[in-house]
Structures are given as C-alpha cells and as structure tokens.
Structure 1
C-alpha cells in the first residue's frame, strides 16, 4: 500500500494523453507553426535601421 499520491489534475492529464495519442504530435505541430521559424536577418536589420529614437520625455509637445 505504498502508492504515492496523485492529484486529480495529474490523473486527468495522464488519462487524457493516454486516450488521445495524437495530442502530442498536434502540440508539436502547433508550436512549429507559431514559434519554430527561421529568422530573416536582412528583415531584422532593416527593422533596426528604421527605428526612430524616443525623446527623453515622451509627453512633451514641441
């Protein structure tokens, strides 16, 4: 009777993953769509060059 405690949420997640074997692949595919992209360095350089410097006090009118 040395079973360790498992919360209801942990139990739910384990059962959900067991019943939905494609879930992990869908999560990885979703991450690839949003985050794992190659950066376009030329475009990033262009963004940096087009940046306008901010005045020391932004609310002052000229």
Structure 2
C-alpha cells in the first residue's frame, strides 16, 4: 500500500512527536475557539440577528 506524505506533513508529525506539549496546547486552543456550547438564549439571539437571504445574491438592489 502506497501512502505518500509530503515533506511538510512529515515535519509536522515529527515535530508533534518530539513536542507533545504542543499537541496539548492545540487541543486547549481548539476548545477556546471551536468547542463552545451556546446557551439557548444565545442561540435565539443569533437566530434573531440573522438577515433574510435575497432570492438572487447577485441582483443589485
């Protein structure tokens, strides 16, 4: 089975293997930005702030 890995991928894999604390920091930072749970009140606020879509996006107003 042929599994090509670019030089960049090999470097990153080796770097993360040699520096496991970086992998932990990546997970912590991901939790800050992406793994956020919104309360029902926040979700309703976002839904209320959404603008209606135009039927054709490229039509000038």
User: Quick check: TM above 0.5?
Assistant: yes
> Per-residue deviation at 1:18?
2.2
Q: Which runs of 5+ in 2 are unaligned?
A: none
Alpha-carbon distance in 2 for matches of 1:49, 1:20? 44
Q: Which residue of 2 aligns with 1:16?
A: 15
2:24 and 2:43 mapped to 1: Cα distance? 31
The equivalent residue for 2:34 is 35
TM (normalized to structure 1)?
0.57
Q: Which structure shows the bigger proportion of residues in helix conformation?
A: 2
Kindly name which structure, 1 or 2, has the bigger radius of gyration based on alpha carbons.
1
Residue-pair matches, total:
56
CA RMSD across the alignment: 3.1
TM-score (norm 2): 0.57
Distance 1:31 1:48 in 2: 24
